[in-house]
Amino acid sequence: MECLHGKPAANSTTSNGSFWFCGQNPSCNFFCTEDEGYMYEKAITAWRCTEQPHPRCDGHHKLAKMCVVKNLMNVNYGRPFFVCGEKAKPCSFWMWGDVQPLAKPECRHGLPCAIRKVKKEGLNKDRLFFCCPNDKESTCRFFEWAPDEELGFFQTVNFSKEPLEKQSCNKNNYLATKFMHDFANELKL
Ligand SMILES: [Zn+2]
Ligand SMILES: [Zn+2]
Ligand SMILES: [Zn+2]
């Protein structure tokens, strides 16, 4: 198991089970249970395919923490995403880990927008939108839906029987598609 640094992850066993975590200093915030190791390995591979650097959160400019969608019923099952890694007071940073970050528009302050996710239950739940990065007191109330390209490979992959090489033209797509095929085969989709 490797952490996001690409270095061997440390392992520790407690009464709650076994865990993998980043053994480097500063830490890349990698952490998962031993059972989830395989899932995280896939998620990290998907992230590496995008060739983006380890994202930093908007609020603290610290390395973000990678998480994986663990709900089997969710269409995004297995996808990596990044959140703030601060334990005490996390900021609301959120982004998918398997797609190139979106070009952010500017809010009415002229600041690069923050990307947020709709948390309220309803039709737009989990949809991403751009908004003013300032807090409630000083927001300019800028709002814009993020384009659907932010949907990752999980939604766009085509599970046809065509050889993979014919389906995708560039290396990143190829790797991501191959990853999805392997994953789908395992899940017997
Ligand atoms: Zn690490
Ligand atoms: Zn933060
Ligand atoms: Zn603003």
Give me the half-sphere count of Cα atoms (radius 13 Å) on the Cβ side of residue 20.
19
Same domain, 65 and 20: yes
Q: Domain residues for 46? A: 2-96
Q: pLDDT 10s per residue in the chain (189 long)?
A: 999 999 999 999 999 999 999 999 999 999 999 999 999 999 999 999 888 899 999 889 999 999 999 988 888 899 999 999 998 999 988 888 998 777 789 999 999 898 888 889 998 888 888 999 998 899 999 999 987 654 554 444 333 334 444 333 344 554 555 555 555 555 544
Residues 82 and 135 in one domain: no
**What separation in Å is there between the alpha carbon of 56 and the centre of ligand 2?**
8
CA 16, CA 8: separation in Å to the nearest integer? 22
- What is the value of pTM for the model shown? 0.64
Ligand closest to the CA atom of residue 7: 1
> What residues sit around ligand 2, an ion, with C-beta below 5 angstroms?
57, 59-60, 84, 86, 91
Task: Output the CA 21–ligand 2 centroid distance in Å.
Answer: 19
169: in domain: no
Same domain, 10 and 91: yes
Q: How far apart are CA 16 and CA 163, in angstroms?
A: 44
Q: Which residues, 6+ apart, have CB-to-CB distance to 28 below 8 Å?
A: 3, 4, 5, 22, 54, 63
